A and B are shown apart, each in its own frame.
Chain A
Amino acid sequence: MTELNGNEGSGVRDVTFEGVWCVFEHRSGQLVHALQDVSFTVPAGQFVAVVGRSGHGKTTMLRVLAGLQPPTAGQVTLGESVVTGPSVERSMVFQQDTVFPWMDVRDNVEFSLKSQGSTKDIRRETSDQRLEDVGLTDFADSWPRELSGGMRKRVALAAVMASGSKVWLMDEPFGSLDYFTRRSLHDLLINLWNESNMTIFFVTHDIEEALILADRVMLVRDGKLVEDIEVSLPRPRDEDVRATPEAVALSKTILDHLGIREDEIVPELRGDSN
């Protein structure tokens, strides 16, 4: 088994967590168990939503997979290689805005290719293609400060696409955007995924978002993987599909497993009017 912390390999491979623990010591001296004995395998090309309440370990799971956080015990593998550090094989779209404000849009998209030593012609060709994919061709020379939040997220997507990464780690990437922008980015992401067939880990606490996007929903609670649910709803998952009894039952199962009781939800949201 090889160690993976550079730009090795580019094939599509399974992601495996084997007994991963992640324990932090809080300033008060208390131990925080962010991940507890997490094990799973995700086949290449699957779209996985990681769902859970805030502070229950979703982001830590992604950071361990990204190689940004070493596990306290256990190991993460990509194919045959153990993850020991960050790599372009596992690119991350962060919750916060990470588009580099000192680079124009094109330079942001080309950054990964430049880091990998690609020639100027290849960089240009790739960035033209990716900017077209995300509908930002006319903004190639703009500064990030001139773009809206949704447009900056599209730049981040284009940058990850241009990197050639086969595993995308997305940490509540659309959390700060309005509903309509979020929906259009969902469609864009699904289109990109259909075309490129990469593996996607999508962290969210929005159950609807998880059901719109994913093949599989992993539920995380108190650092443990409490349920692994296959989502076999037909695509595209528009409002009609999400209103089917099967989709409603899935939502309920997820709520139950996250320990959210029906009576915690306000009547209006539950559908009761009195």
Chain B
Amino acid sequence: MKALRRIWKFGKDHPTAVITWAILLTGWEIAAHLAPEPTFARAPIVPAWEYVFTDAFKALSGNWTIPRWAPNPVSGGEETYLGAVLALGYNTLNSMYRLSLGLFVGIIAGVGSGLLLSYYPWIRQMAWAPLNLLRMFPLLAAIPIFQFWLGANLRGTTTFIAFGVWVLLVVATINAVRNVPDRFIESARTLGASRLRTYRSIVVPAAIPELRTGLLLSAGLSWSLVVGAEYIGISNGLGNLLSVAEFTTNTGRMIIIAVVIGVSALVTFFVLNSIFNRFVSWMPRTAETKGLGSAAGAAALGGPMGE
């Protein structure tokens, strides 16, 4: 009841968002009815919502391979909503597990090596060109080589995600350190701080706020990477569900999986942002920092940013 009341309040406060979503969903439904019948696929080109939430959703239960709690349609069982929910939940958790591991290692390695490189100017100068080259490298094209080197398994996938996040964050960290205002460093030096203390107590905390954008970008990037890796060589996870949906040309299923990935990415974004906010509680509450907490929700629901 409380949730319903909140949704109603959101609708009343953000009429534009409600109208935008109504137009998008209705437009999709109209497109579904206008689209021609496919001649080769088993599913419509543009699936109507009633198809997405019934047949397409239930068909996901084919991905529930554990012989408990719900029948398995692959071995002759019935397609059920419970099976579909179980399959989605199980595969989402699998993806989240890989993603969390990779993201955690990537953030620690990226920020850590960025700070280390920034402390030693000559190493930073040496590393700058190769790092920027790596940053330009299309990461999804690196999936096969990672799976070849480390295996199409947890180790290969998490290393791949950690690598992608590392490349993004090491450059972001070096830039953040570079942008620390000189006045803080000079003030610390005239107050008697050594170079190491100035770096540890002044440069690192002063650089942290600028890492927010890099960290939140890495949350989105890591979802692309985990889905990409699972799509190519892993036998479970949301990326794998997507490749099965493509194999069976089931557009409805693709839509459901895309929505689940989007929602999961938003959850990751929120979690990372609230952890980050704990680190920068000292920051002035500008409209920008206040807004970032609700930015993901606003982006998803169409509400204005920065509220």
Chain A residues engaging chain B, CB cutoff 8 angstroms: 7, 66-68, 85-88, 90-92, 94, 96, 98, 100-104, 111-112, 115-116, 143-145, 159-160, 163, 169
Enumerate chain A residues within 8 angstroms of B186, measured Cβ to Cβ.
Answer: 66, 68, 86, 92, 94, 98
Given known contacts A98-B184, A100-B184, A102-B205, A143 and B282 CB-to-CB distance under 8 angstroms: yes
Is B283 positioned at the interface, with any CB of A under 8 Å from its CB? Answer: yes
Contact with A along B174-201 (1 / 0, CB 8 A): 0000000101101111111110010001
A90 touches B193 (CB 8 A): no
How many residue pairs bridge A and B at CB < 8 Å?
Answer: 74
> Knowing that A94-B183, A104-B282, A112-B193 are A-B contacts, what are 5 other residue pairs whose CB atoms are under 8 Å apart, sorted by A's residue number?
A86-B189, A88-B191, A98-B186, A100-B188, A111-B193
B284 touches A87 (CB 8 A): no
Contact with A along B266-301 (1 / 0, CB 8 A): 000000000000001011110000000000000000
Main secondary structure of the interface of A (DSSP, over half): loop
Enumerate chain A residues within 8 angstroms of B194, measured Cβ to Cβ.
Answer: 115
Enumerate chain B residues within 8 angstroms of A160, measured Cβ to Cβ.
Answer: 191
Q: How far is the CB of B202 from chain A (nearest CB, A)?
A: 7
A163 touches B282 (CB 8 A): no
Given known contacts A100-B184, A145-B282, A145-B285, A111 and B189 CB-to-CB distance under 8 angstroms: no
Enumerate chain A residues within 8 angstroms of B283, measured Cβ to Cβ.
Answer: 101-102, 145
Q: Which residue of A lies closest to B193 (CB)?
A: A115
Enumerate chain A residues within 8 angstroms of B193, measured Cβ to Cβ.
Answer: 111-112, 115
Give Cα distance in the complex from A126 to B283, angstroms. Answer: 26
Chain B residues engaging chain A, CB cutoff 8 angstroms: 181, 183-184, 186-194, 197, 201-202, 205-206, 208, 280, 282-285
B190 touches A90 (CB 8 A): yes
Enumerate chain A residues within 8 angstroms of B202, measured Cβ to Cβ.
Answer: 100
Q: Sorted from nearest, which 7 A-B pairs have the closest CB atoms? A: A88-B192, A86-B189, A112-B191, A98-B187, A115-B193, A102-B205, A145-B284
Q: How far is the CB of A202 from chain B (nearest CB, A)?
A: 15
Give Cα distance in the complex from A91 to B282, angstroms. Answer: 25
A101 touches B192 (CB 8 A): no
Q: Which residue of B lies closest to A99 (CB)?
A: B187
